[in-house]
Structure 1
Amino acid sequence: MKKILTIVTLSSLLFTACSKDKDAINAVESTGKTTVTFDARFGNQDFALNTDFTTGGRTFNFNKFRYWISNVVLVNTNGEEFKVPASYYLLEETGTISLTGVNNDLPTTVYPATKREDVVLKDLKAGDYKTLKFSVGVDSRYNDNLSLLAGELSPLNGMTNVSWMWLTSYIFTSATGKVTEAANTKNLKIETGLNANYKTVTLELPQFLKVSATKSSGIVLNVDLAKVLDGIDVMTTPVVGAAQASTMAAVAGNYSTKVFSVKTVH
């Protein structure tokens, strides 16, 4: 009788162990990752720093292009939303930047020259996705309190501003350089920020994004810097910040409706 009980007990333990192992394997197999590439452009040209781009009789030359992407959401074919946790990413193409503390109370540091276009979304539920959503900027919870950190958020990367509304908050987007029309050249600084200009982008995918543990997948987006300036007279208003509230709102609107488009899904 004791032998029978022992065998039954061992069998139960083995079955439980196998079930746990199987559950663990299934959990791993039920998740995957995908890469979203934010391919910077200027019209129909590849974007690059210190390069002339001519459109509408004006020549643009940029030395910096940086923006926050946050709160990424994938919508599957059943309409269910998967919110990517702690999804705050700084996309950028910039030369070296000399930085001081948030309130100019820290030693000067140097932010290295960086080009970053890829974001890897991890631990996604396996399945087919039809829609990509994300926001441009930083939501009010973190924008109003820089001591709270998530994802890549940090006040140490030169994307904060202490002069807007007499408080320190994140710069959502920043494009700087020069613009020339005829013999007239002006320094260009087009930035957005403030909670009212936090915008969400919704992109329907031309084909399903298939996420699994066994195959790689990805989305390539066009990010058209020329569209950032759509409807903006940069010769009249070459600097856009909180003091140019209506123009900043227009630029933020461009980011939400015109700048991003889907190039490919693979």
Structure 2
Amino acid sequence: MKKIILLLVAATVIFSSCDKNDDVISETQETPGKVTVNFDAVFGSTDFALSTNFTSGTKTYNFDKFRYWVSNVVLVKTNGEEFSVPKSYFLLEETKALALSDLGEFTYPATKREQIVLSDIPAGDYKAIKFSVGVDSKYNDNMSLQAGELSQYNGMTNISWMWLTSYIFTAVGGKVTEGTTNKTIKVETGLNANYKSVSLNFPQNVKIGATKATSINLKADVAKVLDGIDVMTTPTVGASQATTMTAVANNYSTKVFSVVSVN
């Protein structure tokens, strides 16, 4: 009888120990991780840079800024479950110093930023990323509300599009030359209708967790921003050119971004 009792106690201890080990493993597996998302700016097959000539067809471009808001980032698991990253509003940009006289001669410094870091992402295997380009109407129509990196102190606001100040969603500026004709281009979006979503599948699944450094490498093609836009005829794109503005916004949604790799 004593032998039976001892065996039962031993079995209980063993199973209890296994349960605790399983709990530790489970907790380790479920620890949230972080992921770095790189938005590498290019012009066609060439790395993008300011004050550099890029040729497309009969036109030569030389840019002084490329800026856009990435917002409401969503990561999609292999089982279809989606995780919405809270307060995910990021300004991606490559710009020269900007003098912002409406802020008391404030100068926004020259900046290059092609990377965002997403933290506290539930551990697991992921197959896709979604995000929007621009600022959703909740914040675009009420700039007293703040979330993420949204701010009026970066030269990405405009008072001429609506009765109230709103955000500039995307901005490309510089010079374009065709033959002997030179134009200054300023191509922007910012109306609520220009708020567009992007959905990108990964070439293979990627694991996110506390024990692994994870990166998602995207390409942002400035040439595709201007695809189908006659910048010689319409070098300035704003609210008064709503149809062209819509075409530019659609380019951001469907053409500009692509996945290079995940690891």
Q: TM-score, normalised by structure 1?
A: 0.88
The structure 1 segments of at least 4 consecutive aligned residues displaced by more than 3 Å after TM superposition are none
Q: Does residue 208 of the first structure (1) align with residue 209 of the second (2)?
A: no
Q: Secondary structure at the match of 1:250?
A: helix
Deviation at 1:30, TM superposition (A): 1.7
Deviation (angstroms), 1:35: 0.4
Instruction: Work out the CA distance in 2 between the residues paired with 1:202 and 1:52.
Output: 31
Q: Which amino acid aligns with 2:236?
A: V
1:115 aligns with 2:116: no
2:66 aligned partner: 65
**What per-residue deviation string (whole Å, max 9, x for no partner) do you get for residues 229-265 of structure 1?**
1111110001100000000000000000000000011
Letter in 2 for 1:225: V
2:29 touches 2:123 (CA, 8 Å); kept in 1? no
2:155 is aligned to: 158
Check whether the contact 2:30–2:122 (CA below 8 A) recurs between aligned residues. no
Q: Give the Å deviation of 1:32.
A: 0.1
Structure 2 unaligned regions, length at least 5: 1-19
Match of 1:175 in 2: 172
CA deviations 1:21-77 (Å, max 9, x no partner) are: x88x93895200000000000000000000000011100000011000000000101
**Matched residue, 2:13:** none
- Stretches of structure 1 that go unaligned for 5 or more consecutive residues are 1-18
The one-letter code matched in structure 2 to 1:137 is: G
Aligned with residue 141 of structure 1, among 118, 138, 141: 138
Contact preservation (8 Å) 2:29, 2:209: no
2: CA distance between counterparts of 1:249 and 1:107?
Answer: 32
Matched, 1:32 2:33: yes
Q: C-alpha distance in 2, partners of 1:177/1:27?
A: 50
- Of 167, 184, 188, the match for 2:185: 188
Computed over aligned residues only, the root mean square deviation of the Cα atoms, in angstroms, reads 1.5
In 1: Cα distance, 2:40 partner to 2:189 partner: 20
Distance 1:208 1:30 in 2: 19
Aligned partners of 1:132 and 1:185: how far apart in 2?
A: 39
Report the counterpart of residue 41 of structure 1 in structure 2.
42
Taking a change above 3 Å as real, the CA distance of residues 214 and 27 of structure 1, as seen in their structure-2 partners, is: closer
Aligned to 2:12: none
Which deviations, in whole Å up to 9, do the C-alpha atoms of 1:175-196 show, x marking residues without a partner?
A: 0000000010000100001110
CA distances 1:106-128 after superposition (whole Å, capped 9, x unpaired): 41111111100000000000000
Name the structure 2 match of 1:219. 216
Once the two structures are superposed, the pairs formed by residues 92-111 of structure 1 within 5 Å of their partners are 92-100=93-101, 104=102, 106-111=103-108
State the distance in 1 between where 2:78 and 2:188 align: 36
Task: Give the number of aligned pairs.
Answer: 241
Structure 1 residue corresponding to 2:246, chosen from 246, 249, 255: 249
Q: Supply the distance in 1 between the matched residues of 2:237 and 2:100 (Cα, whole angstroms).
A: 21
Matches of 2:94 and 2:252 in 1, distance apart?
17
